[in-house]
Amino acid sequence: MIYLSFTGKLHYRAGARRTRSARACDRRKSRGEFKLSKIQLGPPAAVSLGRLFKVFLYIGATSFGGGVVAYLRDHLVKRRQWLNDDQFLAALEIGETVPGLISTNVSVIVGGRLRGVRGSIAAAIGMTLPGAIAVFILGLLYARFRSNLEVKAMLTGVSAAAVGLILAVTLQIGHREISKWLDLAILIPTFILVGMLHISLLATLVMIAPIAIWIHRPDRAALTDYHARQAAYHAQLAAHHTAAATASGSQIERAS
């Protein structure tokens, strides 16, 4: 899978531009410490749809403004440990580059990873339901309280807190994407175009993405290595499934 990060960097799953954890995994395999039985072939430990819904319902009900990204990371990475930082960053990057709200997109991605299509639906409903109810109620009350100075002060404080939360998340996970000065050469123009000149994100991506792809393109050797490792992985996976099927057949024969 290939996806574009907020610095414009192309990421290849298990490819040439791998994370430090992936390189550490290769070192473990070279020392014979990594066995197929320990490979996480699917999503993490099973999470019930009810729990998935409740967690995202709580996130949606307790997060405010742009700070929802910080809440998502706190719950999914730190508290629940359903994702690690790299997986959360990947979901966040995809959520930022497709249409829709980032928080909703991330909930769909995480829900799908944990419980498939039903998980995506449960997570998305849980994430959006509190906000939809709150906006409906506030919409009814807005005409009455829109000139209230105390309400304005409260909303200003919430906005400031949301900015602080976004900054904290940026500092915590953003350093993973800025590995050399060329990344800044992509990040800074993107910030100027979107944040200062207010050019639409789509137009900015059209301009920046080709440059970013060319800068971070993998070389031929890296692609060859990637395909070789993918082939070896799938061969191991097929052998694992064959062994499991043989063992299951033997148990059935003994039982009969």
User: Per-residue pLDDT tens for 73-94?
Assistant: 888 998 988 998 888 888 988 8
- Collapse the DSSP code of 8 into the 3-class scheme (helix H, G, I; strand E, B; otherwise coil) and give the result: coil
In sequence order, what DSSP letters do the residues of 35-98 get, joined into one string? -GGGS--SSSS---HHHHHHHHHHHHHH--GGGHHHHHHIIIIIIS-SS-HHHHHHHHHHHHHS
Look at 145 and 14; give whichever has higher pLDDT. 145
Cβ pair 64, 158 in contact under 8 A: yes
Q: Which residues pair with 3 in a beta bridge?
A: 11
Mean pLDDT of 15-29: 45
Q: Rounded to whole angstroms, how far apart are CA atoms 173 and 80?
A: 18
| pLDDT(155) > 60 | yes
Long-range Cβ contacts of 147-154 (<8 Å, 24+ apart):
none
pLDDT for the residue 64: 67
Q: Which residues pair with 10 in a beta bridge?
A: 4
Mean pLDDT of 39-64: 76
Condensed to tens digits (0 to 9), the pLDDT of residues 53-72 reads: 999 999 988 876 656 788 88
Condensed to tens digits (0 to 9), the pLDDT of residues 204-245 reads: 988 888 888 888 788 888 888 888 888 888 888 888 888 888
Cβ pair 51, 119 in contact under 8 A: no
| Cα→Cα distances 67→32, 148, 157, 167, Å | 43, 24, 13, 9
pLDDT for the residue 40: 40
Cβ pair 8, 190 in contact under 8 A: yes
Look at 151 and 188; give whichever has higher pLDDT. 188
Euclidean distance between the first and the last CA atom of the chain, given in angstroms as a whole number: 44
Mean pLDDT of 115-130: 93
Going from N- to C-terminal start, the domains of the chain cover 1-41+180-256, 45-178
| Full-model pTM | 0.54
pLDDT for the residue 66: 59
Nearest to 99 by CA among 198, 197, 201: 201
User: Regarding beta strands 10-12 and 2-4, do their DSSP bridges make them parallel or antiparallel, or are they unpaired?
Assistant: antiparallel
Mean pLDDT of 174-189: 77
Cβ pair 134, 37 in contact under 8 A: no
Amino acid 152 reads K
Cβ pair 120, 108 in contact under 8 A: yes
Q: Rounded to whole angstroms, how far apart are CA atoms 70 and 168?
A: 8
What percent of the chain stands above pLDDT 90? Answer: 14
DSSP state of 218: P
